[in-house]
């Protein structure tokens, strides 16, 4: 009890509680006992009581005393309840202080969480009456178009009457001085977002109570409402109706092989175990496999000396199983990124050159080198033992085509994805974990090697402003947030004359690099599909600057489409755009990192529209391992947009990646179900 008193004293100082608060909390503890007993009695009486009686019997800390069945708690539990309440009030006090200071909310000194919710609802255009009744204001022109649904607070199980419930409207989470209204005003791209079968707008109304139709648009109702004895029961999960994909277009499904399927000696690892797993995958009718061909393995020891032995063994197995291949030309190192379970560096002879000339690697403002891939500044510089970087990429791809020409002729190799940057993606390495970046940091510009600075200097002189030959000095660091920097904040330098010049040059280098490499790839792989991978940088998407995208090379602020120029370049090469992060859920981002103002959905549909507007095919892959149905449904929604006016769909999907977890019973059954639906086949358990 002495330690408990010390903790209570600390919490008292933290939350500023008083004797009056202690009396209130004593009353609350007593009322909680009474309320629990009354709710238990009502539940047992109304519903039959069996479920709740079992729950009551299994509660170890509840004791029944006296004639009336009065429940009393041990004294220690009451003390813990008081501590929790003090902690909750301390958090509330901080929230209120922040709202008063930064948001100009007129909140009373002893306001509680209900006052906060009411203030936020009123700002969003809702009317909140003193008794808590809430409804949209008819006078507010935007009330029917407010932001995405806010996270609903957990509800205790209780029997409720049958009110007429309106759809809940959420507030876009804001950081700094960004408000929901600001975001709605700044999204000028006009992105078409097709409706989803999982969208609340498409769920039919449900009959409740005496037969009245309840508007089920509210996600609160969709997830928490069940019908029992003509009553609404809140708190029991309800299974969401799934969309039926039977008869929809066939979308091929590929499975990525493990990163280390071929070892450093270019030998196939565990071929017998691999064949066993591939036969199991073949049994659920996957279309093929996706595999990385690593520059650091094949041309490891000397320029123009290639060892394809392990890949030839792998490809022969794939041909025997009558599967197809998507092959990645991986000109980057593996290791140090999320999901990397092996280390495959760049070729040793490249590393030797880098030790004497570190400017062949991307460099940040502090001079830190990133050896993950070569800087685009040496694309046309003969610094690789007499060759340029473009020539080294071309020679590697030409050797692959010669070595595996029979697999192209037989149609085994379906497509070639060309590595264009870190992780094989077209982007600058702006958020390297090994340099301390952590999500949701904005990252840093990577343009400080001597070759890129030389290019920037020439661009500035051509513009007539030689003093612009520098990177931004006020763009923060890897883990900054936009509003903390003078460059990325609302109205910041990114939208000034120098900012627009710099960002145009920065993104132009990215597009030109992809243009040059894909030109060579198209020449080498004539007749095969060529693919370029674009990352999903969705954090800070709901800010005006889109800071994380800018640092990665995508000039995509709220008043400019940064992906249209990339799509036009891909169109010129008849290339496919592969976009990652298909499975990332908006709601999950808001719950885990509300301060990141992320919008994976908005980014996906923007990139999809940019590609389809110029008739560029688009494929997809997941960024993180997934095994649950919700994520698969998300991918299906992307692959086959609901009621697309032109009947378009994705060209293929690649699952990341083959692993023991995927092959486990329930996970594998769920994946097989997903493959069927991607193929347009019927499933029975909708």
Residue 624 falls in which region: left (phi positive, over 0), alpha (psi -120 to 50) or beta: beta
Residue 171: pLDDT band (50, 70, 90) is very low
Mean pLDDT for the stretch of residues 33-53: 44
> In 3D, which of 552, 485, 668, 540 has the Cα closest to residue 175?
540
Q: Do 382 and 524 lie in a common domain? A: yes
- The answer to whether residues 314 and 407 touch, using CB atoms and an 8 Å cutoff, is no
Strands 413-418 and 529-534: parallel
Residue 285: pLDDT band (50, 70, 90) is very high
Does pLDDT of 143 surpass 70?
no
Q: Do 320 and 405 lie in a common domain? A: yes
Judge whether 171 lies within some domain: yes
Mean pLDDT for the stretch of residues 397-405: 98
Q: Do 187 and 260 lie in a common domain? A: no
Residue 197: pLDDT band (50, 70, 90) is very low
Strands 576-579 and 618-621: parallel
Helix (H, G, I), strand (E, B) or coil at 313: helix
Give residue 92's pLDDT. Answer: 74
Whole-angstrom Cα distance, residue 140 to residue 146? Answer: 10
Judge whether 236 lies within some domain: no
- The answer to whether residues 71 and 37 touch, using CB atoms and an 8 Å cutoff, is yes
Q: In which element (H, E) is residue 128 found?
A: strand 126-128
Give residue 46's pLDDT. Answer: 41
Q: Which residues pair with 384 in a beta bridge?
A: 387
Q: Do 190 and 293 lie in a common domain? A: no
Q: Do 56 and 124 lie in a common domain? A: yes
Q: Do 575 and 644 lie in a common domain? A: yes
Mean pLDDT for the stretch of residues 6-21: 45
Mean pLDDT for the stretch of residues 31-47: 47
Does pLDDT of 219 surpass 60?
no
Q: Do 530 and 674 lie in a common domain? A: yes
Does pLDDT of 37 surpass 70?
no
* Count of domains for the chain: 2
Give residue 158's pLDDT. Answer: 36
Give residue 86's pLDDT. Answer: 79
- CA distances in angstroms from 132 to 119, 151, 336, listed in the order given: 12, 18, 51
- The answer to whether residues 377 and 454 touch, using CB atoms and an 8 Å cutoff, is yes
Does pLDDT of 182 surpass 90?
no
Q: Do 312 and 426 lie in a common domain? A: yes
Give residue 407's pLDDT. Answer: 97
Residue 122: pLDDT band (50, 70, 90) is confident
pTM over 0.85: no
> In 3D, which of 675, 561, 590, 7 has the Cα closest to residue 281?
675
Give residue 273's pLDDT. Answer: 96
Give residue 178's pLDDT. Answer: 39
- The answer to whether residues 587 and 431 touch, using CB atoms and an 8 Å cutoff, is no
Mean pLDDT for the stretch of residues 21-48: 49
Query: Lowest-pLDDT range, 176-180, 319-323, 599-603?
Result: 176-180
Judge whether 212 lies within some domain: no
Mean pLDDT for the stretch of residues 324-352: 92
Does pLDDT of 286 surpass 50?
yes
Give residue 103's pLDDT. Answer: 63
Q: Do 121 and 28 lie in a common domain? A: yes
Q: Which two tokens stand for residue 626?
A: 């997934």
> How many other C-beta atoms can be found within 10 angstroms of the C-beta atom of residue 98?
11
- The answer to whether residues 181 and 175 touch, using CB atoms and an 8 Å cutoff, is no
Mean pLDDT for the stretch of residues 528-545: 96
Judge whether 683 lies within some domain: no
> In 3D, which of 636, 546, 585, 467 has the Cα closest to residue 188?
546
Does pLDDT of 214 surpass 90?
no
Q: Do 161 and 59 lie in a common domain? A: yes
Judge whether 50 lies within some domain: yes
Task: Work out the mean pLDDT of the chain and round it to a whole number.
Answer: 79
- The answer to whether residues 122 and 128 touch, using CB atoms and an 8 Å cutoff, is yes
Judge whether 304 lies within some domain: yes
Helix (H, G, I), strand (E, B) or coil at 248: coil
Q: Do 163 and 308 lie in a common domain? A: no
- The answer to whether residues 648 and 254 touch, using CB atoms and an 8 Å cutoff, is no
Does pLDDT of 341 surpass 70?
yes
Which residues are catalytically annotated? 425, 621
Whole-angstrom Cα distance, residue 683 to residue 653? Answer: 19
Give residue 88's pLDDT. Answer: 77
Mean pLDDT for the stretch of residues 529-539: 97
Judge whether 259 lies within some domain: yes
pLDDT digits (tens, 9 = 90+) for 538-572: 999 999 999 999 999 999 999 999 999 999 999 99
> In 3D, which of 508, 497, 509 has the Cα closest to residue 465?
497
Judge whether 140 lies within some domain: no
Q: Do 165 and 270 lie in a common domain? A: no
- The answer to whether residues 436 and 444 touch, using CB atoms and an 8 Å cutoff, is no
- Report the CATH number that the domain containing residue 644 is assigned in CATH: 3.20.20.80
Whole-angstrom Cα distance, residue 169 to residue 137? Answer: 12
State the residue for tokens 């495959």.
344
Give residue 196's pLDDT. Answer: 44
| Residue range of the domain that includes 161 | 2-63+71-134+157-195
């Amino acid at each position: 009890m002495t330690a408990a008193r010390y903790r209570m004293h600390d919490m008292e100082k933290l939350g500023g509680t008083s004797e009056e608060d202690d009396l209130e909390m004593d009353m609350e503890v007593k009322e909680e006992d009474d309320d629990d007993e009354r709710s238990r009695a009502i539940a047992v009486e109304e519903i039959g009581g069996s479920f709740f009686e079992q729950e009551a019997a299994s509660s170890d800390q509840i004791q029944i005393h006296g004639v009336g069945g009065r429940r009393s708690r041990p004294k220690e539990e009451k003390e813990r309840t008081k501590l929790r309440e003090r902690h909750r009030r301390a958090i509330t006090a901080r929230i209120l202080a922040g709202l008063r200071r930064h948001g100009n909310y007129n909140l009373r000194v002893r306001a509680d969480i209900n006052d906060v919710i009411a203030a936020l609802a009123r700002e969003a255009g809702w009317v909140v009456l003193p008794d808590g009744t809430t409804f949209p204001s008819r006078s507010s022109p935007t009330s029917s178009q407010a932001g995405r649904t806010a996270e609903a607070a957990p509800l205790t199980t209780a029997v409720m009457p049958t009110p007429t419930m309106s759809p809940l409207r959420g507030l876009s989470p804001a950081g700094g001085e960004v408000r929901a209204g600001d975001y709605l005003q700044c999204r000028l791209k006009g992105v078409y977002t097709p409706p989803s079968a999982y969208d609340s707008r498409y769920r039919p109304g449900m009959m409740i109570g005496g037969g009245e139709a309840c508007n089920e648009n509210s996600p609160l109702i969709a997830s928490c409402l069940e019908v029992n004895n003509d009553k609404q029961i809140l708190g029991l999960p309800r299974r969401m109706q799934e969309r039926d994909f039977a008869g929809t277009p066939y979308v091929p499904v590929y499975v990525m092989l493990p990163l280390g399927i071929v070892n450093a000696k270019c030998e196939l690892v565990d071929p017998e175990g691999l064949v066993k797993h591939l036969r199991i995958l073949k049994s659920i009718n996957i279309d093929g496999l996706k595999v990385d061909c690593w520059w650091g393995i094949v041309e490891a020891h000397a320029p123009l000396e290639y060892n394809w032995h392990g890949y030839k063994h792998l490809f022969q197995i794939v041909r025997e199983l009558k599967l197809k291949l998507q092959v990645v030309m991986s000109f980057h190192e593996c290791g140090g990124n999320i999901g990397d379970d092996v280390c495959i560096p760049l070729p040793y002879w490249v590393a030797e050159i880098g030790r004497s000339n570190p400017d062949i690697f991307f460099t940040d403002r502090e001079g830190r080198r990133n050896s993950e891939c070569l800087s685009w500044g040496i694309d046309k510089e003969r610094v690789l033992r007499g060759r340029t970087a473009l020539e080294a990429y071309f020679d590697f791809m030409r050797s692959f085509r010669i070595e595996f020409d029979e697999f192209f002729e037989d149609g085994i190799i379906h497509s070639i994805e060309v590595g264009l940057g870190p992780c094989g993606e077209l982007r600058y390495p702006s958020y390297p974990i090994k340099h301390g970046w952590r999500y949701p940091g904005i990252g840093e510009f990577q343009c400080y090697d001597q070759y890129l600075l030389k290019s920037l200097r020439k661009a500035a002189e051509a513009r007539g402003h030689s003093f612009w030959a520098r990177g931004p000095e006020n763009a923060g660091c890897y883990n900054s947030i936009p509003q903390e920097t003078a460059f990325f904040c609302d109205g910041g330098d990114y939208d000034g004359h120098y900012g627009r010049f710099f960002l145009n040059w920065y993104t132009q280098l990215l597009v030109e690099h992809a243009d040059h490499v894909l030109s060579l790839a198209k020449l080498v792989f004539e007749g095969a599909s060529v693919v370029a991978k674009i990352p999903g940088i969705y954090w800070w998407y709901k800010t005006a600057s889109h800071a994380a995208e800018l640092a990665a090379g995508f000039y995509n602020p709220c008043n400019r489409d940064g992906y249209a120029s990339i799509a036009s370049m891909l169109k010129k090469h008849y290339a496919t755009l592969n976009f990652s992060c298909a499975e990332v859920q908006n709601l999950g981002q808001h719950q885990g990192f509300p301060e990141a103002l992320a919008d994976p959905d908005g980014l996906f549909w923007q990139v999809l529209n940019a590609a389809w507007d110029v008739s560029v095919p688009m494929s997809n892959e997941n960024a993180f391992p997934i095994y649950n149905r919700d994520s698969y449904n998300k991918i299906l929604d992307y692959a086959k947009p609901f009621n697309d006016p032109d009947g378009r769909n994705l060209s293929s999907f690649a699952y990341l990646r083959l692993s023991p977890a995927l092959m486990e019973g329930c996970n594998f059954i769920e994946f097989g179900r997903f493959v069927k639906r991607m193929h347009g086949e019927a499933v029975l358990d909708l």
